Structure 1
Amino acid sequence: MSELGRVLRLDARRAALLIAVPLLTGIGIVTAWLSLVPGVAYWDNSTVTLIGSVRLLGPVAAGVAAWAAVRERGLDYLRDLSPRSPATGALLDMALLAAAAMIAYGTVTAVVTVETALRQAAGRPSALGMLAGAAALLLHVAAGYLAGRLVPRPVTAVAVLALAGAWAALRVPGASWWSLLPPAALEEVELFTALRARVLADQVLWAAAGTAALVLAYVAGTARRAALAVPLALALAATGVATARLHASGGDAAAPAPARPACRHWPLQICVHPALRSALPALMTAVTPLATRLSGTPGEFTRVVQRPAAEPATVAGGTASIHLDDALAPGYELRAVQQIKDALADPRACAVPRHPGYRGLVDAWLLGHRPPQIADATAARRFASWDEERRRSWLRSNFAQYRRCDLGPGDFRPPRKPPSRATNASGPSKR
């Protein structure tokens, strides 16, 4: 009977593994790959992707574990013939399912890590983030398996899958502190911010303590060992502490973080977040003509820096600050040039310009666009006839009016020639 029980248990476990490992691996890779931010290799966003994949991996793993537990329940009469504790077989099965889930999660982690590293990644990998995802996945496996043991019905696996899916889906990223409970629903990490290590550590503690509490409660009830009440109480207390700490965080998992910029130094100095270093050539090409045309004016700049989205775009002291979208959507370099041009205007004075249209002529030239049609065809024709050097000289003289959106028809008149020196018709004076 002992040999028969061992064979039957191995057969049941093998079937669960053959389904669990490829199923979880495939779901995890697809979920993580679709969640990666295109064009950006930022380790914190890769961590968010891994943790986010557990929101789908977890319910599936819990359902598979519950299904395996229901199948294994039919072999308990064989385990009763062994002198071992009745909880031993369940713990071994749970450990085997947990190992299968970790193999799948490790494969997903390897794919995300390689994909991020190959794109000149910025920041640093977070071991705590990887552990937070792994701990949340183990919690689902334990909860699903124990549910299948306690309610050995075929419908249990479906119920576990539905409940775990609802637990993951009901929370919205960034909505409240509930979103930080494993499996966490985290927002995409913007550049110049990073995940807080304390939040990740609390998630690891919450999931690990919750798993320990479930297992200890099951073993204590099955083996009837009162001594397990103390570690069970400690596990519950750790879960409570982690919950309180996550509540105190207010649902914000990220915080501002400095980043050493990636720069190019010729013909301008352009510096961006290191995750966006691939944008430097296009930015240099797009921004240099504008910098050249503004040379010699109060709006001239020789340095361009990327700043966080919360800070305004400015041009001051020879430095222009810009914003870039994290995904580097097509046209990002043109939007950066537009931001610099817009920063040259006085927002209060330009709210209601006295002579609308004239500034558009200058804007089109600065941006390299086709000039707009304005009512004053004479001014438009005259400005179009000037060469590049004359336009730059004109802008240096009229930059104050341009900045205040106060350009008018008189500003586009040809400059008056200086009066010529009068010559003495009688010839040189005699002494």
Structure 2
Amino acid sequence: MSELGRVLRLEARRTALLVAVPALAGAGVVAAWLSLPPGVAYWDNSVVALMNSVLLLGPVGAGLACWTAVRKRHLDYLRDLTTRSPSTAALLDLLLLTAGALVAYTAVTVVVATQALVRAQAGPVHPLGVPAGASALVLFVVAGYFAGRALPRAVTPVLVLALAWPWAMLRAPDGSRLSLLPPAAFGRIELFTGLRPQVLLDQTLCAAGLALTLTLGYVGWTNRRLLTVLPLSLALAAAVYGTVRLVGADDPAVQPAPVRPACREWPLTVCVHPALRGALPSLSAAAVPLAARLNGTPGAFTRVEQRPPGEAPRVLDGVATVHLDDVLAPGFESRAVRQIRDGLVGGRMCPTTAAAQYRGLVDAWLLGENPPAVADARTARRFTGWSEDRRRGWLRAHFASYRDCALRPGTFADPAAKAAGKTENTAKKPVKKAARKGKHKRPARSSSA
């Protein structure tokens, strides 16, 4: 017995685990890192990154486990010398391989979690995210090992890789319910949504149940005893239940997830998803000039809020709503300000090209852009020549025409010149009347004549 244990321990310390753990850890870190979206800190996407690492770790782990099982068949003559169960040595090998795979998965989890904490991740952490990926990885290792035990040929590891790789990598994320079977193929989790915890629980049950079913089935077949029937039945029932729930359920894997926004209170109140709190300073700075120009109009706003993509941007009751991409690409501030401008007009289209040009002239001023080319150059020069205060006063007087795209050349008349003309006409009218009356009045004759 002691001699057999020493031989098995020596075998366990040989190159199999020394190669498996670093290889799995390195491959998993690369796969997880490539799956993390830049610029956004969201816990659900970290869970998806762990799942995506299993898509690569699983086939590699299955191939290494199968290769180990094929190499170790030459020790069966030593294992047959012991009076213990003939499955003990195989279970020890499987335990060592599983432990090595989980050590590699733990290393990947530490890297992803460290990256998450450094970037101040937002959203709730799903405690079932890590077990779901770990159970899927264990399932691959167990299946690969028993495949090598059942068919101890040099070509078996290649066949295992040829079968495991397409199953893990060729499923479209969020394409069908089959993509939820372990290892799950998730797409990116958008903001204001989150993974459904029931899906993670079902994946854990499915993968762990299948791994236990294979292990207990091998033990029962090797020992020829009925003691494994009850635990085997329970493991199989858990696997079937999880599989039916994943494939047959109508609930989507991703559900809306309301979150508490992160806000900046001055000079405007700007609120975004907490995963995008880094956008607050630049977004606030970009929205302040537009808010100042709209002050005193029906489109005035003092608060900017980020909304899910399904809601249309609008400006209502002093609140402007915008959409932001998960990845804060350069220029997101100007795109958000344009969405506020779109919310002012509410999708109203211009009836003529001239009206569209006049609106574009005002839009360029509101957005702080260069004025566009307008066919009515005289009106364009007049409007661009006004001071900032005069244009704000003009917009307060003609906001309805701007919103309804009813601007005309007469709408851009200079308010000061118009007022001066009215004053001049009022002063001249009495003089003309007096002159007209004096023209028809005859001079009175003197009494001497």
Contact 1:46–1:116 (CA under 8 A) maintained in structure 2? yes
> Which amino acid letter does the alignment assign opposite residue 367 of structure 1?
L
* 1:287 and 2:316 correspond: no
Contact 2:348–2:405 (CA under 8 A) maintained in structure 1? no
Q: Tell me how far 1:141 sits from its aligned partner.
A: 0.6
**Residues 283-362 of structure 1 correspond to what in structure 2 (within 5 A)?**
283-350=283-350, 355-362=355-362
Q: Tell me how far 1:252 sits from its aligned partner.
A: 2.5
- Equivalent in the alignment of 2:438: none
> Which amino acid letter does the alignment assign opposite residue 117 of structure 2?
A
Distance in 1 between the 2:265 and 2:2 partners?
Answer: 76
Distance in 2 between the 1:47 and 1:63 partners?
Answer: 25
**Residues 11-410 of structure 1 correspond to what in structure 2 (within 5 A)?**
11=11, 13-250=13-250, 252-350=252-350, 355-410=355-410
The secondary structure found in structure 1 opposite 2:271 is strand
Q: Tell me how far 1:107 sits from its aligned partner.
A: 0.5
Q: Tell me how far 1:331 sits from its aligned partner.
A: 1.0
Contact 1:13–1:93 (CA under 8 A) maintained in structure 2? no
Distance in 2 between the 1:28 and 1:36 partners?
Answer: 13
Contact 2:182–2:203 (CA under 8 A) maintained in structure 1? yes
The secondary structure found in structure 1 opposite 2:10 is helix
Contact 2:12–2:93 (CA under 8 A) maintained in structure 1? no
The answer for unaligned runs of 5 or more in structure 1 is 427-431
Query: When the two structures are superposed, what TM-score results if normalisation uses the length of structure 2?
Result: 0.91
Query: When the two structures are superposed, what TM-score results if normalisation uses the length of structure 1?
Result: 0.95
The answer for unaligned runs of 5 or more in structure 2 is 435-449
The secondary structure found in structure 2 opposite 1:232 is helix
- Equivalent in the alignment of 2:439: none
Runs of 4+ in 1 over 4 A off after TM superposition: 351-354, 421-426
Contact 2:313–2:321 (CA under 8 A) maintained in structure 1? yes
Q: Tell me how far 1:91 sits from its aligned partner.
A: 0.4
Contact 1:54–1:133 (CA under 8 A) maintained in structure 2? yes
Distance in 1 between the 2:220 and 2:274 partners?
Answer: 52
Distance in 2 between the 1:45 and 1:98 partners?
Answer: 26
Q: Tell me how far 1:122 sits from its aligned partner.
A: 0.8
Distance in 2 between the 1:79 and 1:248 partners?
Answer: 44
Distance in 1 between the 2:310 and 2:245 partners?
Answer: 27
> Which amino acid letter does the alignment assign opposite residue 409 of structure 1?
P
- Equivalent in the alignment of 1:417: 419
The secondary structure found in structure 1 opposite 2:414 is coil
Deviations 1:320-345 (A, max 9, x none): 00111011111111110011111111
Q: Tell me how far 1:244 sits from its aligned partner.
A: 1.6
Q: Tell me how far 1:8 sits from its aligned partner.
A: 6.0
Distance in 2 between the 1:29 and 1:116 partners?
Answer: 14
Q: Tell me how far 1:254 sits from its aligned partner.
A: 1.3
Contact 2:354–2:375 (CA under 8 A) maintained in structure 1? no
Contact 2:345–2:403 (CA under 8 A) maintained in structure 1? yes
Change (3 A) 1:235 1:5: closer
Change (3 A) 1:362 1:348: closer
Q: Tell me how far 1:187 sits from its aligned partner.
A: 1.6
Distance in 1 between the 2:402 and 2:53 partners?
Answer: 52
The secondary structure found in structure 1 opposite 2:39 is coil
Deviations 1:111-148 (A, max 9, x none): 00010111111113222000000000000010000101
Distance in 1 between the 2:376 and 2:254 partners?
Answer: 53
Change (3 A) 1:405 1:353: farther
> Which amino acid letter does the alignment assign opposite residue 309 of structure 1?
P
Q: Tell me how far 1:11 sits from its aligned partner.
A: 2.9
Q: Tell me how far 1:13 sits from its aligned partner.
A: 4.6
> Which amino acid letter does the alignment assign opposite residue 355 of structure 2?
H
Contact 2:299–2:318 (CA under 8 A) maintained in structure 1? yes
The percentage of aligned residue pairs carrying the same residue is 59
Contact 2:314–2:346 (CA under 8 A) maintained in structure 1? no
Change (3 A) 1:398 1:333: same
Distance in 2 between the 1:351 and 1:327 partners?
Answer: 37
- Equivalent in the alignment of 1:429: none
Change (3 A) 1:315 1:42: same
RMSD: 1.8
The secondary structure found in structure 1 opposite 2:304 is strand
Contact 1:180–1:251 (CA under 8 A) maintained in structure 2? no
Contact 1:36–1:49 (CA under 8 A) maintained in structure 2? yes
> Which amino acid letter does the alignment assign opposite residue 35 of structure 2?
S
The secondary structure found in structure 2 opposite 1:75 is helix
Change (3 A) 1:11 1:230: closer
> Which amino acid letter does the alignment assign opposite residue 193 of structure 2?
T
